[in-house]
């Protein structure tokens, strides 16, 4: 009898140790499709791609499909369908694709309500049909045409008796010094709706999710910004999909944003009578760590600070330039944060009356004022009730815009075009330098 039980336990041991695939979730973003495998337990995986038709084959070691798990009709983004089958003691998953992709995968440890997860981000090889910056990408800077005084006057018809004027030797020709003129540019506001997709953020008692309410407020704010003459909004995300923290600031920088506003809703793990709005800017410690990280990556990425390419600078020079830029941006961010707090106080009570500091990754950009707005507490029943209301969301968006406009009332960015008299076929002055000025 004992021998039979031992034999049975040996036969059942592999099943007891098998990792179970509990669910597969798809998130379609503008630049990639995310595939999330929810696993009961951690394990290893490997994958390869196939063409004609395009597929990704994923082998998850020591895994099996949960009973009753169905993939019927499961398809989104570049993923057309999902199939599974046993393979070498584990589980093989096949993703049928609509196009060739560049896949990236990583695992996540249990966190909050989530267990072990295997993540695949699928980037189309031939570019997405809806790029994240399709609508927000700045147009090519238009060159300001010469003014009437600068345009060469049309020469009168030559008279037969007139002698042609002698041509001046180019070597002795006296050129006018470059002339700088300032032209007001649209103020570009990058609006970041916190969380999204696989990352829901905080969740209220009644089930309101942070990622949903932040997107609603962000879209309302963007509409108000776009309706303001001289302003333009750029949303880091327009739907329910995941964007990495660094990717959010990258979108803002690519759009040449003059300001970065990240919208969130606060929460506490245990019920407490804490509610209200607060505003965060990057802490000195966060700025210092970012300073070191950027210097360490100068050889791998050319980070622009005020139009200066740090990649070509000596480490000491780059460090000084970064320090100057970060100091100026931190001071500007504090100014912005104070204005935001003042305007938010007219809509909701303030949880903190002073601008707070933290090392949030989205606040570490060295070339634009950045602030993170905690609109209210989802963990407080009254704040959650307000956040779910359209009128309150409208009021929050309007108050944030008020703070933004208050800041730019004193610090309006301008675009500098420098002209010099350079002989050309059209004989007109040409811009020889482009530089942004804050």
- Reported as a pLDDT band with limits 50, 70 and 90, residue 304 is very low
User: What CATH code is carried by the domain that includes residue 316?
Assistant: 3.40.630.40
Picking from 45-59, 102-116, 145-159, 247-261, which range would have the lowest pLDDT averaged per residue?
145-159
Most confident of 104-108, 129-133, 141-145, 154-158: 104-108
Looking at the structure, do residues 95 and 199 belong to the same domain, yes or no? no
- Domain-ending residue, one of 124, 146, 167: 124
Looking at the structure, do residues 198 and 84 belong to the same domain, yes or no? no
- Domain-ending residue, one of 124, 147, 165: 124
Residue range(s) defining the domain that contains residue 101:
18-124
Over the stretch 172-212, which tens digit does the pLDDT of each residue have? 555 555 555 555 678 999 999 999 988 898 899 899 999 99
Over the stretch 3-13, which tens digit does the pLDDT of each residue have? 554 444 444 44
Looking at the structure, do residues 200 and 53 belong to the same domain, yes or no? no
Looking at the structure, do residues 101 and 249 belong to the same domain, yes or no? no
Q: What percent of the chain has pLDDT over 90?
A: 43
Over the stretch 350-381, which tens digit does the pLDDT of each residue have? 998 899 888 777 777 767 888 999 999 999 99
Q: What is the pTM of this model?
A: 0.66
pLDDT score of 434 more than 90: no
User: What CATH code is carried by the domain that includes residue 78?
Assistant: 2.60.40.3500
Q: Which is more confidently placed, 135 or 28?
A: 28
First to last CA, the chain: 84
Looking at the structure, do residues 112 and 241 belong to the same domain, yes or no? no
Residue 114 covered by a domain: yes
Of the candidates 324, 397, 317, 334, which has an alpha carbon nearest to the alpha carbon of residue 369?
334
Q: Residue 113: what pLDDT?
A: 72
Domain count, the chain: 2
Q: Tokens 């037969």 label which residue?
A: 160
Residue 303 covered by a domain: yes
Q: How far apart are CA 254 and CA 231, in angstroms?
A: 17
C-alpha distances in Å from residue 180, one per residue of 174, 345, 369, 430:
18, 42, 26, 12
pLDDT score of 69 more than 80: yes
Looking at the structure, do residues 101 and 189 belong to the same domain, yes or no? no
Residue 322 covered by a domain: yes
- Segment 296-316 shows an average pLDDT of 40
Q: Residue 167: what pLDDT?
A: 58
Q: Where on the phi/psi map is residue 219: left (φ > 0), alpha (ψ -120 to 50), or beta?
A: alpha
Looking at the structure, do residues 319 and 402 belong to the same domain, yes or no? yes
Q: What percent of the chain has pLDDT over 70?
A: 66
Over the stretch 206-241, which tens digit does the pLDDT of each residue have? 999 999 999 999 999 999 999 999 999 999 999 999
Looking at the structure, do residues 286 and 190 belong to the same domain, yes or no? yes
- Reported as a pLDDT band with limits 50, 70 and 90, residue 133 is very low
Provide the token pair at 103: 């896949």
Q: Residue 283: what pLDDT?
A: 73
Largest Cα–Cα separation, the chain? 129
Of the candidates 415, 419, 416, 414, which has an alpha carbon nearest to the alpha carbon of residue 146?
419
- Domain-ending residue, one of 78, 102, 124: 124
Looking at the structure, do residues 119 and 188 belong to the same domain, yes or no? no
Looking at the structure, do residues 258 and 350 belong to the same domain, yes or no? yes
Picking from 27-36, 148-157, 289-298, 360-369, which range would have the lowest pLDDT averaged per residue?
289-298
Residue 361 covered by a domain: yes
Over the stretch 309-320, which tens digit does the pLDDT of each residue have? 444 444 444 444
Provide the token pair at 27: 């998130």
Q: Specify whether the CB–CB gap between 217 and 396 falls below 8 A.
A: yes
Residue 216 covered by a domain: yes
Looking at the structure, do residues 311 and 206 belong to the same domain, yes or no? yes
Looking at the structure, do residues 220 and 359 belong to the same domain, yes or no? yes
pLDDT score of 159 more than 60: no
Residue 159 covered by a domain: no
Residue 253 covered by a domain: yes
How many Cβ atoms sit within 10 Å of the Cβ of residue 169? 7
Q: How far apart are CA 120 and CA 105, in angstroms?
A: 4
Question: CA angle, 240 as apex, 234 and 246 as ends, to 5°?
Answer: 55
């Amino acid at each position: 009898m004992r021998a039979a039980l031992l034999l049975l336990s040996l036969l059942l041991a592999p099943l007891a140790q098998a990792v179970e695939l509990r669910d597969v979730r798809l998130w379609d973003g503008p630049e990639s499709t995310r595939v999330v495998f929810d696993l009961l337990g951690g394990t290893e995986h490997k994958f390869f791609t196939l063409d004609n038709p395009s597929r990704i084959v994923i082998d998850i070691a020591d895994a099996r499909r949960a009973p009753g798990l169905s993939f019927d009709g499961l398809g989104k983004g570049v993923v057309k369908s999902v199939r599974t089958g046993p393979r070498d003691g584990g589980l093989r998953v096949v993703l049928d694709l609509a196009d060739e992709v560049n896949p990236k995968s990583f695992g996540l440890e249990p966190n909050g309500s989530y267990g072990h997860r295997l993540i695949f981000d699928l980037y189309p090889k031939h570019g997405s049909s809806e790029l994240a910056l399709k609508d927000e990408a700045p147009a090519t800077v238009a060159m300001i045409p010469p003014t009437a005084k600068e345009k060469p006057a049309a020469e009168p018809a030559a008279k037969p008796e007139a002698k042609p004027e002698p041509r001046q030797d180019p070597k002795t020709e006296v050129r006018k010094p470059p002339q700088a003129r300032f032209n007001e540019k649209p103020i570009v506001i990058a609006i970041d709706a916190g969380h999204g997709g696989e990352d829901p953020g905080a969740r209220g008692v009644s089930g309101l999710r942070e990622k949903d309410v932040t997107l609603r407020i962000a879209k309302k704010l963007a509409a108000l910004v776009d309706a303001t003459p001289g302003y333009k909004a750029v949303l880091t995300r327009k739907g329910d999909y995941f964007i990495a923290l660094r990717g959010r600031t990258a979108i803002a920088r690519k759009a040449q944003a003059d300001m970065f506003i990240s919208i969130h809703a606060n929460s506490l793990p245990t019920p407490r009578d804490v509610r209200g709005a607060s505003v965060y800017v990057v802490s000195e410690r966060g700025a210092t760590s970012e300073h070191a990280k950027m210097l360490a990556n100068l050889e791998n990425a050319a980070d622009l600070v005020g139009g200066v390419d740090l990649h070509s600078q000596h480490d000491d020079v780059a460090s000084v330039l970064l320090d100057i830029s970060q100091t100026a941006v931190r001071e500007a961010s504090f100014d912005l944060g104070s204005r935001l707090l003042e305007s938010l106080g007219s809509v909701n009570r303030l949880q903190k009356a002073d601008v707070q500091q933290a090392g949030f990754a989205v606040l570490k950009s060295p070339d634009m004022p950045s602030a993170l707005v905690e609109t209210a507490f989802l963990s407080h029943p009254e704040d959650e009730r307000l956040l779910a209301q359209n009128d309150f969301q409208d009021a929050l968006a309007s108050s944030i815009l008020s703070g933004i406009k208050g800041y730019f009332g004193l610090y309006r960015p301008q675009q500098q075009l420098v002209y010099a008299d350079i002989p050309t076929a059209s004989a007109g002055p040409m811009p020889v330098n482009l530089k942004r000025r804050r």
